[in-house]
A and B are shown apart, each in its own frame.
Chain A
Amino acid sequence: MKRNKNMEKKLQKLLYRSFDEPLSQEEQVKLKTALKSSEELLREKEKITWVRNAISAETGQKFSPFFADRIMRKIRMQKEDLAGKIDDFNISLILSFRKIALAGVVTVLLLLSTNFISQGGLSVDKAMALQQITIEDTWSLNTLISEVVK
């Protein structure tokens, strides 16, 4: 009884597979013989064929009209949006750079004017706070020591 059930299951599996894969010669003969002898298996084949035919007829589906146009519009909008985002980034970059540049100019002017007021002129030496020294002075040990001591 159990053996028969197992055999039935195997044949049913073979039947289902026959719709989707080519069977070997041996399997084909086995299925053909089984279909001839089993009314139940033959009925099963008819049912599956009906189901498959009905589903295969589900082709020819379409989206709503102007489907392609709607996609093309979306793509255009996507491109414009991207271009807009790039423009926004460039504008914000220029604006923030402008602020930084302005702050830098103001700082330099402030430093120069402070220097001018405290040193009484705008020579490079004064601006850089350098003293007029000779090479001999630079290498003189005494000068160096006295500077350190100071």
Chain B
Amino acid sequence: MTDEQIIEEIKNGNDSAFRELILRYESIVAATVIGMLGNCAEMDDVGQEVFIRFYNSIDNFRGESSVGTYLTRIAINLSLNELKRRKRHNLFFSRPSEAGIDMADNNENNSYHEKKEIVHAAIQKLNAKHRSVIVLRMIDGYSTRETATILKIPSGTVLSRLARAQIKLKEILAPYILGVL
């Protein structure tokens, strides 16, 4: 079944078609939400909310963008909301580092952590603006133009944010890069 057919079925009240859509797009939404928030308790709730919002606004979906892009846009917006909520929360209740990994410790204990975890922690060290372009462009694999459309910013801004984010990541990951190169 194509995405269009699935959407039509959902609009006609076929809930099992919606289940099919969830299975089809779970990994895309997961990559975005986990990329933005990290492996945390809230990731599942945000992921569920993405699909529920889509379900509730299915009648407004006109197919101008693909289902994946539409879901990614919701996922990015909800993740940014969650990051704002965390920031507000951290103002009142001090919380240990979000990433949960101290990069200085890693320097001495490289073998202990997987490369994946280290990179994941490095992404979490970026601010929300830089993180969103990195997640969309490099993890989700959207083009610069698609990333700009999802974030509703000019392509030039995407490129400059990408460059700054990569410089920052390069700095954070310097001990590991030097070890490999």
A→B interface (CB under 8 Å): 13, 16-17, 20-21, 43, 46-48, 50-52, 54-64, 67-68, 70-72, 74-76, 78
Q: Which residue of A lies closest to B163 (CB)?
A: A16
Given the complex of chains A and B, what is the CA–CA distance between A76 and B119 in angstroms?
38
Q: Which residue among A13, A20, A78 has the maximum number of chain B CB atoms within 10 Å of its CB?
A: A20
Chain B 134-145, CB-CB to A under 8 Å as 1, else 0, gives 100111010010
**Smallest beta-carbon distance A144→chain B, Å:** 68
Q: Which of A52, A56, A57 contacts B166 (CB 8 A)?
A: A52
Given the complex of chains A and B, what is the CA–CA distance between A48 and B177 in angstroms?
9
Q: Which of B48, B116, B119, B163 contacts A71 (CB 8 A)?
A: B48
Q: Which residues of B contact A68 (CB under 8 A)?
A: 19, 22-23, 26
CB pair B139–A56 under 8 Å, yes or no, is yes
Given known pairs A46-B181, A47-B177, A78-B52, the reply for A57 and B31 (CB within 8 Å) is no
CB pair A61–B34 under 8 Å, yes or no, is yes
Q: Which residues of B contact A46 (CB under 8 A)?
A: 181
Q: Which residues of B contact A43 (CB under 8 A)?
A: 181
CB pair B44–A71 under 8 Å, yes or no, is no
Q: Which residues of B contact A59 (CB under 8 A)?
A: 27, 31, 139, 141
Q: Which residues of A contact B169 (CB under 8 A)?
A: 51, 55
Q: Which residue of B lies closest to A58 (CB)?
A: B139
Q: Which residues of A contact B98 (CB under 8 A)?
A: none
Main secondary structure of the interface of A (DSSP, over half): helix
CB pair A21–B144 under 8 Å, yes or no, is yes
Given known pairs A47-B181, A62-B30, the reply for A71 and B15 (CB within 8 Å) is no
8 closest A-B pairs by CB: A16-B163, A68-B22, A61-B30, A61-B34, A55-B138, A54-B119, A61-B31, A63-B47
**Smallest beta-carbon distance A21→chain B, Å:** 6
Given the complex of chains A and B, what is the CA–CA distance between A1 and B75 in angstroms?
47
9 contacts between A and B (CB under 8 A): A20-B144, A43-B181, A51-B173, A58-B119, A58-B120, A58-B123, A63-B30, A67-B44, A72-B15
Given known pairs A16-B166, A48-B170, A72-B18, the reply for A58 and B181 (CB within 8 Å) is no
Given the complex of chains A and B, what is the CA–CA distance between A64 and B169 in angstroms?
28
Q: Which residues of A contact B70 (CB under 8 A)?
A: none
Q: Which residues of B contact A60 (CB under 8 A)?
A: 27, 31
Q: Which residues of B contact A51 (CB under 8 A)?
A: 166, 169-170, 173, 177
Q: Which residue of B lies closest to A70 (CB)?
A: B48
Given known pairs A21-B159, A47-B170, A67-B22, the reply for A57 and B116 (CB within 8 Å) is yes
Given known pairs A55-B123, A61-B35, A67-B47, the reply for A17 and B26 (CB within 8 Å) is no
**Smallest beta-carbon distance A12→chain B, Å:** 8
Q: Which residue among A64, A75, A76 has the maximum number of chain B CB atoms within 10 Å of its CB?
A: A75
Q: Which residues of A contact B138 (CB under 8 A)?
A: 52, 55-56, 58
Q: Which residues of B contact A47 (CB under 8 A)?
A: 170, 177, 181
15 additional contacts (CB under 8 A) given A43-B181, A60-B27, A67-B48: A48-B166, A50-B177, A50-B180, A54-B115, A54-B119, A55-B123, A58-B120, A58-B138, A61-B27, A61-B30, A62-B26, A63-B44, A63-B47, A67-B47, A68-B22
